[in-house]
Amino acid sequence: MEATTVRTTAAEPGRRAAALAALQKLREIIKTAQEQFQLTSETAGISGSQAWALAEIARSPGLIVSELGKAMAIHPSTTSNMLDKMQRRGLIRRERIDADQRVVRLFVTAAGEKVLSELPGPATGLLPDALARLSAEQLDAVNAALALILQKMDRRETSAAFTPLASLLAGASDEAGRATPARRAGTPGRHR
């Protein structure tokens, strides 16, 4: 694969500086999210995705699996695999309480409640929490800007749209919530 060069001219130094400033902000967002996932893993022993799932289930006891996947914008098989791990750890329980026994309802256990109480930040994660606190107009602007960036990219990984962010960020933690070997020793970066 050949190297891609920045497509600017000498007459565009202001635009290049603005592009680099945007890139720095994206790096900061990604690194902050990664550090928060790691802190969640170290503090509570679960992945960021599992923390978010626990919070969604606690917020809506009896939630069904498909609703959880939609609430987190993740693929149904990813949701199911994550729930299997959480159930094995005793963080959630699944119940078939409807007349339609195919419907599985989700509940947080006492162990899951304890883990939720130990989380070092918003259970949904810093980025989803920040996005949720934006106004409708601000979200429209963010979505429009991100759509433009995606249009300009020569390559896209559309499947990533339904993959938990914690899974995308190498070095945060594995899906079982364990710290990966790539994690540096020492204290995480600043957390706000």
Q: What is the pLDDT of residues 114-156, one digit of tens each?
A: 999 999 989 988 999 999 999 999 999 999 999 999 999 988 8
Q: Rounded to an integer, what distance in angstroms lies between the CA atom of residue 192 and that of residue 190?
A: 7
Structure tokens, 124: 């949904």
Question: Which among 83, 85, 89 has a CA at the least distance from the CA of 71?
Answer: 83
Structure tokens, 84: 């299997």
Coil, strand or helix: which one is 108?
Answer: strand
- Exposed, middle or buried, 53 (CB in 10 Å: 0-12/13-18/19+)? buried
CB atoms within 10 A of CB 86: 28
Q: What is the pLDDT of residues 27-60, one digit of tens each?
A: 999 999 999 989 999 999 999 999 999 999 999 9
Question: Which among 114, 113, 112, 94 has a CA at the least distance from the CA of 104?
Answer: 94
CB 83 within 8 A of CB 151: no
Structure tokens, 38: 């790691």
Q: Give CATH for domain 27-124.
A: 1.10.10.10
Residues in the chain: 192
Q: Whole-model pTM?
A: 0.73
